[in-house]
Amino acid sequence: MSSLATLRVLRARTACTPGRSFHSTPLRREHFLKANVETFTKAISNKDKVVLVDFYADWCNPCKMLSPILESVTSDPNVKSGSGLPLDLVTIDTDNEIELAQQYNIRSLPTVLAFKDGQPAHRFVGALPEAQVRAWLRAV
């Protein structure tokens, strides 16, 4: 059998049958904790996800209350943004990334920005309870 004939047989054997169904796994959610500028820039450029960016400081008590809520919500595979996209989380320590905080006009902590297609789309300031964070995400 010639190599061309062998390739045709192999292709025919591995071809998809009409009844075969396909599925895909959901996009994996990622948490980039204490991100630097490079990690932040790479994370927000993802067009298949909404990226929540939590601007915080270690000394900020409301930040300490909000962080576990954001980590929990973004880890839940059933929670999506209002646009149906999965969520990633980036945390930025404003004491270490001062220029980044200034660039996004962060005046109070915690401040959470939602990025879509690399651009800030929504924000909230202050420690919200989980129910309000989930409601906010439905608007994103």
Q: Given strand 50-56, what is the order of strands in its sheet?
A: 31-32, 87-93, 50-56, 111-116, 119-125
Q: Is residue 134 part of a domain?
A: yes
The per-residue pLDDT for 57 is: 98
Structural domains of the chain, count: 1
109 found inside a domain? yes
Q: Is residue 7 part of a domain?
A: no
Residue 135 lies in a domain: yes
Q: 10 Å Cβ neighbour count for 61?
A: 9
- Residues 53, 99, 119, 61: what is their CA dihedral angle, to the nearest 10 degrees? 20
CB 112 within 8 A of CB 54: yes
CATH code of the domain covering residue 99: 3.40.30.10
* The pLDDT of residue 49: 93
- Give a yes or no: residue 12 inside a domain: no
From the list 60, 106, 114, 128, the catalytic residue is 60
pLDDT in tens, 14-52: 555 555 554 444 556 899 999 999 999 999 999 899 999
Q: Is 8 inside any structural domain?
A: no
> What confidence score (pLDDT) does residue 7 get?
54
| Active-site annotation holds for 16 | no
Range of the domain at 49: 28-139
pLDDT at position 23 is 44
Residues of the chain whose pLDDT is less than 70? 1-28
Q: Identify the active-site residue in 43, 44, 52, 63.
A: 63
Whether residue 20 lies inside any domain: the answer is no
8-state DSSP, 124: E
Asked if 67 and 129 touch (Cβ cutoff 8 Å), the reply is no
